[in-house]
Amino acid sequence: MHLLVSYILLFLGIFFEGELILLSAVIAAHQGLLNIWMVILIAIFSTILSDIIYFNVGKYKAKKWLTNSKYAAKYEVVQQKLLKNRTKMLLSYRFLYGMRIITPIVLGSQEISISKFLKYSILSTIIWCFVIVGLGYVFGELIINNLKHIEKIEYYFIGSLIAITVGFLIFKMVKRKE
């Protein structure tokens, strides 16, 4: 039962977040906690589904999303990149920070067919997935090997979180007084 819940959470995490969740899942698979092929399949399907949803948001709600949201500023950037080289952008946007959501929305608002979009989405998703999985295996091995040498890592982690939180609170208090 816990594996089913893990895979459902993985699907949702990749849908909303992407790389970080996939990298974490790959490290978990490397440790034998998850099946790597299930992780890959879930990553591919979750990512393609999010692309389809955002494409349709662009097709039917583009004006609202692109003028009254945090994506308005990125709209012009995506437009320029699409004008410069549409195919390159269709294959690479998933690797560009901050472009994973806005690009399908912009493409949906343009005269591109869903079938053409899906062709590029599926291809770029498969490439993206295997790149992230490869990086996860390489860096996951390094992370796990280095963590074996650190005793009581949870104390360092909790201490770091507390220090960051206290630092953030002090920063906000100082900022308010100014």
Quick: pLDDT tens for 51-61: 999 999 988 88
The answer to whether 62 and 105 are in contact (CB under 8 A) is yes
How many Cβ atoms from other residues are within 10 Å of residue 133's Cβ?
21
Residue in 19, 42, 9 with CA at minimum distance from that of residue 131: 19
Mean of the pLDDT values across residues 72-76? Answer: 77
Mean pLDDT of the chain: 84
Quick: pLDDT tens for 152-165: 666 666 667 778 87
Q: Is the pLDDT of residue 169 over 90?
A: no
Per-residue confidence at 68, pLDDT binned at 50, 70, 90? low
pTM of the full structure: 0.75
pLDDT of residue 145: 74
Integer Rg of the chain from CA: 20
The answer to whether 54 and 108 are in contact (CB under 8 A) is yes
The answer to whether 100 and 94 are in contact (CB under 8 A) is yes
What are the domain boundaries of the chain?
2-147
Mean of the pLDDT values across residues 38-47? Answer: 96
pLDDT of residue 1: 65
